[in-house]
C-alpha cells in the first residue's frame, strides 16, 4: 500500500512547531502519519545541542512532521533520522546544480559545501522497545539572505542561486520525499545515507568536548548512529552524538 500523502496544519505563529504538533497529538492521538504542522513565524525554534534556530518570518521552512514507523525498534531509531535528513537533501538537491551537492553532516544536519542549509530535531516516543511515533522538526533556509545569530555557517537557497522560492512549495516537496522514503528498506536507506555523507572522503579535523583535536576520516556510520573514525595515526575511534564534532 502506498504511503498516505501528508496532512497540513498551518499556524500563523507558534513558539515551536514540535511543541505544537505534540499538543495536537495529545488532543487527537489518532493523528495520522504524515501530519505536518508549519508556521510562517516561529518564535522559539530549537535545534540540536540546545541551540536556537534563526528564521526570519515568512522566509524559511519551519515545520514538524509526525512519523509512525511500524517496523522500527528503539535500537534502530537512527533510521528515522536518516530518512528525514535524506528527504530534505534529495528535495533541496532538485533546486541546485550538480556543482552544489546537498549532503548530510552526521548525524542529520544538511549541508551545501561547508554551509548549513537545514537543521533537524527529532524527538521519539517509545512504547516498550518500539518507536510509537516520532516528531521531526525541520528548519530550512529558503529565502533569507541575512543571518544575525552567532551560528557560524548558515546559507539559504536564495543565497546559493540568486532566486526566490515558494516557501510552502519547498515544504511540501520535503514532506512528500520523506513520505516516499518510508517505503524504502532500512538497509537501502542506510546505504544511501552513507553515500550522501558530508566529508565522506579524505581526512578532516575533529574535536571532542574536552577540546582535544585530531585528524580523521569517516570509516562508517553504524545502523545505531554511532560514527566510526579512522585517525591519521591509524587509530579507530567510535563516537555517539555529541561526543565529537567536525571542525569547520
Percent of the chain scoring above 70 in pLDDT: 94
Contact 157, 117 (CB under 8 A): yes
Helix/strand/coil for 115: strand
Interval 131-144 mean pLDDT: 96
What pLDDT, on the 0 to 100 scale, is given for residue 51?
A: 53
The residue with greater pLDDT, 239 or 49, is 239
pLDDT tens-digit profile of 201-236?
A: 999 999 999 999 999 999 999 999 999 999 999 999
pLDDT tens-digit profile of 155-194?
A: 999 999 999 999 999 999 999 999 999 999 999 999 999 9
What pLDDT, on the 0 to 100 scale, is given for residue 52?
A: 56
What pLDDT, on the 0 to 100 scale, is given for residue 2?
A: 64
pLDDT tens-digit profile of 96-123?
A: 999 999 999 999 999 999 999 999 999 9
pLDDT band at 47 (very low <50, low <70, confident <90, very high): low
Interval 25-32 mean pLDDT: 95
Its pTM stands at: 0.92
pLDDT band at 34 (very low <50, low <70, confident <90, very high): very high
Domains within the chain, CATH numbers bracketed: 7-195 (3.30.930.10), 204-246 (2.30.30)
What pLDDT, on the 0 to 100 scale, is given for residue 24?
A: 95
What pLDDT, on the 0 to 100 scale, is given for residue 53?
A: 57
Cα dihedral sign for 51, 82, 131, 238? negative
What pLDDT, on the 0 to 100 scale, is given for residue 55?
A: 66
What does the DSSP assignment read for 24-87?
HHHH-TTPPTTEEEEES-BSS-B-GGG-B----TTTSEEEEEEE--SS-BGGGTHHHHHHHHHH
Question: Residue 138's closest CA among 163, 188, 174, 95?
Answer: 174
pLDDT band at 77 (very low <50, low <70, confident <90, very high): very high
Phi, psi for 182 (deg, rounded to 5): -65, -20
Helix locations, the chain, DSSP H: 17-27, 78-93, 157-161, 167-181, 186-195
Secondary structure tally for the chain: helices H, strands E: 5, 12
Q: What would the grid cell of residue 129 be?
A: 522497545
Q: What whole-number distance in Å separates Cα of residue 80 and Cα of residue 143?
A: 27
Pairing type for strands 7-11 and 35-39 reads parallel
Provide the CB-side half-sphere exposure for 33 (13 A, CA).
Answer: 17
Amino acid at each position: 500500500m502506498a504511503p498516505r500523502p501528508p496532512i497540513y496544519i498551518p499556524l500563523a505563529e507558534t513558539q515551536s512547531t514540535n511543541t505544537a504538533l505534540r499538543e495536537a497529538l495529545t488532543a487527537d492521538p489518532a493523528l495520522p502519519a504524515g501530519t505536518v504542522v508549519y508556521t510562517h513565524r516561529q518564535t522559539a525554534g530549537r535545534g540540536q545541542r540546545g541551540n536556537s534556530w534563526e528564521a526570519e518570518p515568512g522566509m524559511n521552512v519551519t515545520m514538524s512532521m509526525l512519523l509512525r514507523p511500524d517496523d522500527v525498534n528503539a535500537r534502530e531509531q537512527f533510521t528515522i533520522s536518516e530518512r528525514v535528513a535524506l528527504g530534505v537533501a534529495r528535495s533541496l538537491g532538485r533546486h541546485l546544480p550538480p556543482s552544489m551537492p546537498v549532503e548530510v553532516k552526521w548525524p542529520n544536519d544538511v549541508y551545501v559545501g561547508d554551509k548549513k542549509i537545514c537543521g533537524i530535531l527529532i524527538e521519539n516516543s517509545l512504547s516498550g522497545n518500539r518507536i510509537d511515533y516520532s516528531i521531526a522538526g525541520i528548519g530550512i533556509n529558503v529565502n533569507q539572505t541575512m543571518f544575525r545569530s552567532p551560528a557560524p555557517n548558515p546559507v539559504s537557497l536564495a543565497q546559493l542561486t540568486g532566486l526566490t522560492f515558494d516557501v510552502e512549495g519547498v515544504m511540501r516537496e520535503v514532506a512528500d520525499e520523506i513520505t516516499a522514503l518510508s517505503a524504502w528498506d532500512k538497509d537501502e536507506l542506510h546505504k544511501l545515507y552513507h553515500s550522501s555523507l558530508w566529508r565522506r572522503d579524505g581526512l578532516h579535523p575533529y574535536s571532542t568536548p574536552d577540546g582535544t583535536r585530531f585528524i580523521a576520516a569517516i570509516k562508517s556510520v553504524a545502523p545505531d548512529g554511532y560514527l566510526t573514525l579512522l585517525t591519521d595515526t591509524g587509530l579507530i575511534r567510535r563516537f555517539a552524538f555529541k561526543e565529537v564534532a567536525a571542525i569547520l
